[in-house]
Amino acid sequence: MTNIAKIVLAGFVLVTLAALALAHHSAAAYDTQKEVRLSGTITQYRFGNPHVYMILQVRKPDGTTNAVEVEAGAASVLNPLGFKKDSLAVGDVVTIVGNPGRNNADQFLLGKDLYKQDGSYIPLNIASRSIYSSNTTETAGSIAGTWFPPRNEFNAFLGGTRNWSITEKGKAAIASNNDPKATTQKDCIPIGAPAVMFYPVADTITVQTDKVVMKVDWMESERTIYLDGRDYQFQGTSNGPFNFIAWQHTETFDRTLSPQPGSQKPDLLRRHRRSRVSD
């Protein structure tokens, strides 16, 4: 391993600790071992970050009604899966599958899947299936554009971090992290590089003469890769850009997701990239 690669790897250690918590807020408030199905009318609806919320008016067997607050994923996460702002409206009658709250189970629900009266499906969680089908027959000739990294590839990346060669300083940092809930995301600080580069949300990439800029639709995250040979200066834990002396990569691209309604081609791409830092 080169000296530069060792420096970069050391910088990733603390970042990875935060990356292990995928969601912005913990699902600990919900009983994820139980699944319920509720039907009712949407009386309130807010589409945005960090979560989409709605109030579902549910009729009980005794004829009375009950208001249930449904928490869904972030708009930036659900939009690429097919949940748009106009997918729902107040007054819609829907059925939602999800996990009840640990306390006041009849008042709170972590939404997973939503079905409208016409049978159409809307994903409510980062782990929910997309409404789009995959199309891998087309290729792209540039890294520039808008991409949507599949969640399974993000999980594969996180799983691979356990096999990294960690310095003694890095091991000590990991050992000192005794609180599994100690994550920067609870303070609305996004995960850092490299995990943010694979986060399963829309990622807009622009290629410039001396750098590549990645704007990730998650808590205004931005990642800059410098190509002009400047020295890499690590300043400790940081959400800012990391600088590389050189960036060499081999890229293959394929289209993913089916076209949007009325469109003849997909507007999102999936990337597969193999990169390394040179001397």
Assign residue 77 the CATH number of its domain.
Answer: 2.40.50.140
Residue 29 domain-assigned? no
The pair of structure tokens assigned to 274 is 């193999």
Residues 94 and 141 in one domain: no
**Dist CA 269 CA 258 (whole Å):** 10
Residues 173 and 213 in one domain: yes
Residue 31 domain-assigned? no
Look at strands 53-59 and 247-255 and give their pairing. Answer: unpaired
Q: What confidence score (pLDDT) does residue 234 get?
A: 56
Residues 219 and 108 in one domain: no
Q: Determine the structural domain holding residue 148 and report its residue range.
A: 3-22+134-277
- Residues 253 and 269: beta-carbon distance below 8 Å: yes
Q: What confidence score (pLDDT) does residue 132 get?
A: 81
Residue 129 domain-assigned? no
171: left (phi over 0), alpha (psi -120 to 50) or beta: alpha
Q: Which residues contact 36 (CB under 8 A, 6 or more apart)?
A: 97, 98, 99, 100, 109
φ and ψ of 186, to 5 deg:
-65, -20
Residues 117 and 138 in one domain: no
Q: Which residues is 251 bridged to in the sheet?
A: 273
Q: What confidence score (pLDDT) does residue 49 get?
A: 85
Residues 83 and 202 in one domain: no
Residue 113 domain-assigned? yes
**Dist CA 234 CA 240 (whole Å):** 10
* Per-residue tens of pLDDT for the chain, all 279 residues: 444 444 334 344 333 333 333 444 457 789 999 999 999 999 999 999 889 999 999 998 888 999 999 999 988 889 888 999 999 999 999 999 999 999 989 999 999 999 999 999 999 998 888 888 766 667 778 888 888 777 777 778 878 877 888 889 888 887 887 676 666 666 667 777 778 777 777 788 999 988 899 888 777 788 888 888 776 665 555 445 443 434 344 333 333 333 334 433 333 333 333 333 333
Q: What confidence score (pLDDT) does residue 4 get?
A: 42
Residue 153 domain-assigned? yes
**Dist CA 110 CA 92 (whole Å):** 19
Residues 108 and 181 in one domain: no
**Dist CA 230 CA 243 (whole Å):** 7
Based on the structure, what is the number of domains in the chain? Answer: 2
The pair of structure tokens assigned to 42 is 């949407």
**Dist CA 256 CA 203 (whole Å):** 14
Residues 166 and 111 in one domain: no
Residues 138 and 110 in one domain: no
Residues 98 and 171 in one domain: no
Residues 91 and 180 in one domain: no
- Residues 81 and 127: beta-carbon distance below 8 Å: no
Residues 273 and 189 in one domain: yes
Out of 101, 123, 145, a domain closes at: 123
Residue 249 domain-assigned? yes
Residues 117 and 195 in one domain: no
Q: What confidence score (pLDDT) does residue 183 get?
A: 67
Residue 115 domain-assigned? yes
Out of 68, 99, 123, a domain closes at: 123
Q: What confidence score (pLDDT) does residue 141 get?
A: 83
Model pTM score: 0.57
Contacts 24+ apart (CB under 8 A), 217-223: 217/76, 218/74, 218/76, 218/77, 218/190, 219/24, 219/49, 219/50, 219/185, 219/188, 219/189, 219/190, 220/190, 221/190, 221/191, 221/196, 223/193, 223/196, 223/197
* Radius of gyration of the CA atoms of the chain, in A: 21
Q: What confidence score (pLDDT) does residue 228 get?
A: 81
- Residues 2 and 277: beta-carbon distance below 8 Å: yes
Q: Which amino acid is at 152?
A: N
Out of 67, 102, 123, a domain closes at: 123
Residue 56 domain-assigned? yes
